[in-house]
Structure 1
Amino acid sequence: MDGSVHYRHGGTLETDPWYFSSGRTQTTRMNYRAVETTDEYVARLENGADWRAEIESLADEVEADAAWFTALGAVQDAELWFYDQDECEYYPVEFDEPLEVASCVGNVSWLDDERFAHTHVVLSDDEGAAYAGHLNEATVWAGEVHMRVFEEPLDREYDETTELDLWL
């Protein structure tokens, strides 16, 4: 990569080197840009703390203006949000029980002048039932996170179609 930021805003393979085709008959139009990574961190989340707040705290500590993270562990309780695409609203789903964090993935960017950890999880209960969604809050029992920091900051902007704050 040449170090410059490239944005994709339409075009064709012949006219636009950043044209993306999914290989299907319909062409996917998306905005994207190349990113360089600077540092990587691993961390253990503090027992009893809020899961997402711990990730945001790590981002603050290492001054990560943009990052990608994965994590795993267990929580004592959780509040997931489900986004209703028809209503364009989040609806909470609460769990007041111990759950395994089978998968956690997300990104860090700026939202309303603060670092924000956009966090999605798959949780499972003691019978193996899985629950997934946007993690609003959860109390850490044990957690391990891997964070890859990007060189350039990413800001979230309001998207009129989805009514969500999305990056790029």
Structure 2
Amino acid sequence: MQYREVETTGEYLARLDNGADWREEIEGLAAEADADAAWFAAMGAVQDAEVWFYDQETFEYEPVEFDEHLEVAGCVGNVSWLNGDRFAHTHATLSRPDGEALAGHLNAATVFAGEVYMRTFDTTLEREHDETTDLDLWL
């Protein structure tokens, strides 16, 4: 296990813009806050979504696309640096009108409405390739 103590540098509330990309809006908030590391929680609704599932045997993401309106019942993640850009590592539970839940790594989604709480930290989190998992993980 790797860990470090961090100090909070700011806390932000944001409303995401209708029609924007969910993850890009969160990355934009981090940029506006000049955050090199952050944790966030969000909720709302999307018009469509692309969710990824990481296959631990093939070491590949398997995308699943949903071209339908979905509630964002819960969304959590963190912001770090990946290949020189801020990256919002975003996981979400989405729900259909009948209550069926869909969940995974939220790669993209079109915002209908969204609200985000972000806490920023006094450190930099940078992702680098991990040979064991074939994922880009924090240092």
| TM-score, scaled to structure 1 | 0.82
Within 1, Cα distance between the matches of 2:125 and 2:50?
A: 26
Within 1, Cα distance between the matches of 2:73 and 2:48?
A: 14
Amino acid across the alignment from 2:95: S
* Aligned residue in 2 for 1:166: 137
- Structure 1: unaligned runs, 5 residues or longer: 1-29
- Secondary structure at 1:149 match in 2: strand
* Aligned residue in 2 for 1:142: 113
Within 2, Cα distance between the matches of 1:93 and 1:110?
A: 25
The equivalent position to 1:62 in structure 2, one of 20, 33, 49, is 33
Within 1, Cα distance between the matches of 2:37 and 2:4?
A: 13
Tell me how far 1:142 sits from its aligned partner.
0.3
Matched, 1:99 2:70: yes
* Aligned residue in 2 for 1:120: 91
Matched, 1:43 2:8: no
Tell me how far 1:81 sits from its aligned partner.
0.3
Tell me how far 1:62 sits from its aligned partner.
1.0
| TM-score, scaled to structure 2 | 0.98
Query: How many residues get paired?
Result: 139
Matched, 1:80 2:51: yes
Amino acid across the alignment from 1:138: A
Root mean square deviation, CA, Å: 0.6
Question: Which ranges of 4 or more aligned residues in structure 1 deviate by more than 3 Å?
Answer: none
Tell me how far 1:106 sits from its aligned partner.
0.3
- Structure 2: unaligned runs, 5 residues or longer: none
Within 1, Cα distance between the matches of 2:132 and 2:63?
A: 22
How much identity, in percent, do the aligned residues show? 72
Amino acid across the alignment from 1:47: N
Within 2, Cα distance between the matches of 1:75 and 1:142?
A: 7
Amino acid across the alignment from 1:132: A
Tell me how far 1:43 sits from its aligned partner.
0.1
